[in-house]
Chains A and B, each alone.
Chain A
Amino acid sequence: MLSLNTLRQETYANWEVLHFCKAAYPHALLSWNVDDATAQRLPYTNQPFKTDIRQQFGDLRKRHTWQQAAIYYAALSMLCGYLECLQILCWATIPNYLGQDLIMEHYQTELHDCLFQMPKFIEIIKAGLEQLYQRPDLSEERAQIEASRNINLLPV
């Protein structure tokens, strides 16, 4: 089980990346432009971030709030990250395809549920599967997806 601090840090990282991808100002310096200690404190010091989470998910003292927020922003930051459809498909089905993903590891079912509720997701998966079977350089990814049982979650 993830600690409350980890959930909060994950939520912040995803919230920040989402803002960055949208070229929106996250009301603080980007965490990769400050030192480690400051970056660690950002989830606690960034007021607009806390207001955002409070308005959408409720009491910041509760675990449930951060769990929901972490899952929501994990899904949204990935769909709004301008990745290619295929990369999103692989991220959703192959464990650690893009790198370590704590939320995917611990809350895979909830994250998949959340993704399917987002309007663009089905379209993206469809296009991703088309790329997967059309491009000859993707045999490795194809084998991994077919081997993983996650393919059952996809509407094919």
Chain B
Amino acid sequence: MGFLDFFRNSNRQDSQLALFEGEETSIIDSAEPSRNLANKRLMDEAKKRGATARTYPAINASAIQEMLGESPDQLYDALGIPQSDRSRLPQAAKEALMVGDIAALEQILDDNAIGHRPLIQSATKGYRKAKGIFRWNR
């Protein structure tokens, strides 16, 4: 019951792969994960699940509060970087945000959260689960 089982099952359901039915070779999505990609997947999934335009900003603020243990205002002020430029955060902070976004996405899928409020709730739950692995949150 590891990743392979999951991978085979989820690929079978994928409608795009139905085109290749009958062929033996399985098609593997080999895109490299990155912070931007994790962030975008979370955003797209939330959108698919009936997010409003304000869901994502709240999830985003929750990510900073939970994963970095700071209020977003304090964080950006103390580091002296503009508020809308996340790429200039220290590398460790960006890694934590990426881990958090992945955890939040899994939690949303797990809870099958739909709509503005359930989505924020699930995402926050995901961030809280993931934050413990970082030293500064202990």
Contact B61 A20 (CB under 8 A): yes
What's the Cα separation between A23 and B52 when bound, in Å? Answer: 20
Which of B47, B65, B118, B121 contacts A99, CB < 8 Å?
Answer: B47
Contact A81 B61 (CB under 8 A): yes
A77 within 8 A of B: yes
Contact A99 B46 (CB under 8 A): yes
Nearest Cβ distance between residue A106 and chain B, in whole angstroms? 13
Interface string of B12-49 (1 = CB under 8 A from A): 00000000000000000000000011000001001100
Instruction: Output the residue of A14, A22, A23, A102 with the most chain B CB within 10 A.
Output: A23
- B contact residues, total (Cβ < 8 Å): 36
Contact B84 A33 (CB under 8 A): no
Which residues of B70-110 have CB atoms within 8 Å of chain A's CB atoms?
71-74, 76, 82-87
Which of B74, B116, B121 contacts A33, CB < 8 Å?
Answer: B121
Number of cross-chain contacts by CB at 8 Å = 108
Which of B46, B54, B64, B121 contacts A82, CB < 8 Å?
Answer: B64
Given contacts A32-B117, A99-B50, A99-B53, contact A23 B71 (CB under 8 A): yes
Main secondary structure of the interface of A (DSSP, over half): helix
A113 within 8 A of B: no
Which of A31, A81, A135 contacts B60, CB < 8 Å?
Answer: A81
Interface string of A6-42 (1 = CB under 8 A from B): 0000000110010011110000000111000001000
A154 within 8 A of B: no
Contact B60 A82 (CB under 8 A): yes
What's the Cα separation between A134 and B121 when bound, in Å? Answer: 34
A52-60, A83-91, A143-151: which lies at the B interface? A83-91
| Chain A, Cβ-Cβ closest to B36 | A137
Instruction: Output the residue of A17, A20, A23 with the most chain B CB within 10 A.
Output: A17
Nearest 9 CB-CB pairings of A with B: A81-B57, A23-B71, A99-B51, A101-B53, A32-B117, A21-B61, A32-B120, A85-B84, A98-B53
Q: Could you write out 19 A-B pairs with CB less than 8 Å apart?
A: A13-B54, A17-B54, A20-B58, A21-B58, A21-B61, A22-B73, A23-B74, A81-B58, A81-B61, A82-B60, A82-B64, A82-B76, A82-B84, A84-B84, A84-B86, A87-B56, A98-B55, A99-B50, A104-B53
